[in-house]
Amino acid sequence: MNNPYFQFSGGIFAALLMLVALFFLFIFLPVSIVAEAFSKLGLTPAQGVLMLIAILVGRTVDLPVFTSERLVMVPKPRTMRFTVDEAGRHMQIEEDAINELKKQVFAVNVGGCILPFLLSLTFILSLHMSGHADGMYGWLGFAMVMVAGGCYAMTKANPYTGLRVPLIMPALMTFVSVYFFVPEPFRPVAAYVAGTMGTIIGGNLVPLLTPRIRNGVGTPLVSIGGAGTFGGVFVAGILAVLLA
């Protein structure tokens, strides 16, 4: 029986066309969307792209801030080693997994918490210095409370993956609270600040301050703005600004 194989007979032009389409779909289009969102907040396209890169790279960096005395179980995978017996025969030995107790560490994620906070502060100060911030803080607080309350109600504590926030719901709640209630001049800034900081407050900070929810998290590293929350923070901040 011949081994199965794949053959592309569309020619070099079709192959190049497919590569261009993939580049447009997975790279150019997302970058353009992010650049457009940041342009509404006063950044240039180049600054928007740089911030996108910084946020995506920062997603991989967690800065520890507190080590709890609580011990959590860290499962170790089954290991396998090879040896040779007295007769010179190769043997395969499997060792059972051994669970290990570690102290739970709390950290903040650079791309999912620190950079959104700094950007939110920058956009607020920029609007304030331009003289167009009269009445903004009340609407900003209202939108943030709405998003934080909705995220808190939907956040689930998973013993193995940590706190989980539904991906699209923070963006949807941000859009509803900003588009229908916040005056138009404040919408872009309110959408980004409420979408990012509201998600972090309601999806991470308040649940971690709630003993019932915090005790349900069994991961050795609890990252604020990290896994389980980063997607909601990123999508809420970008999509809400575009829709607002």
pLDDT for the residue numbered 120: 92
Taking alpha carbons only, the member of 210, 201, 242 closest to residue 116 is 201
Angstrom distance (rounded) from CA 167 to CA 156: 12
pLDDT for the residue numbered 207: 93
pLDDT for the residue numbered 69: 82
The answer to whether the CB of 72 falls within 8 A of the CB of 220 is yes
pLDDT for the residue numbered 26: 47
Tell me the residue type at 159: P
Q: How many residues does the chain have?
A: 244
Read off the tokens for 238.
């970008």
Taking alpha carbons only, the member of 107, 121, 20, 19 closest to residue 62 is 107
Angstrom distance (rounded) from CA 96 to CA 8: 46
Q: What is the pLDDT along the chain (244 residues), one digit of tens a residue?
A: 455 554 544 556 555 656 555 544 445 556 667 777 777 788 887 888 888 888 889 999 999 998 988 888 776 666 666 666 666 666 666 655 567 788 889 999 999 999 999 999 999 988 888 877 788 889 999 999 999 999 999 998 888 778 888 888 888 899 899 989 998 888 888 999 999 999 999 999 999 999 888 888 888 899 999 887 888 888 887 877 776 5
For β-strands 221-224 and 100-109, DSSP reports them as parallel
Environment class of residue 162 by beta-carbon count within 10 Å: exposed (0-12), middle (13-18) or buried (19+)? Answer: buried
The answer to whether the CB of 197 falls within 8 A of the CB of 118 is no
Environment class of residue 54 by beta-carbon count within 10 Å: exposed (0-12), middle (13-18) or buried (19+)? Answer: middle
pLDDT for the residue numbered 46: 81
SS3 annotation, the chain: CCCCCCCCCCHHHHHHHHHHHHHHHHHHHHHHHHHHHHHCCCCCHHHHHHHHHHHHHHCCCEEEEEEEEEEEEECCCCEEEEEECCCCCEEEEEECCCCEEEEEEEEEEHHHHHHHHHHHHHHHHHHHHCCCCCCHHHHHHHHHHHHHHHHHHHCEEECCCEEECCCCHHHHHHHHHHHCCCCHHHHHHHHHHHHHHHHHHHHHHHHHHCHHHHCCCCCCEEEECCCCCHHHHHHHHHHHHHHC
Angstrom distance (rounded) from CA 171 to CA 243: 9
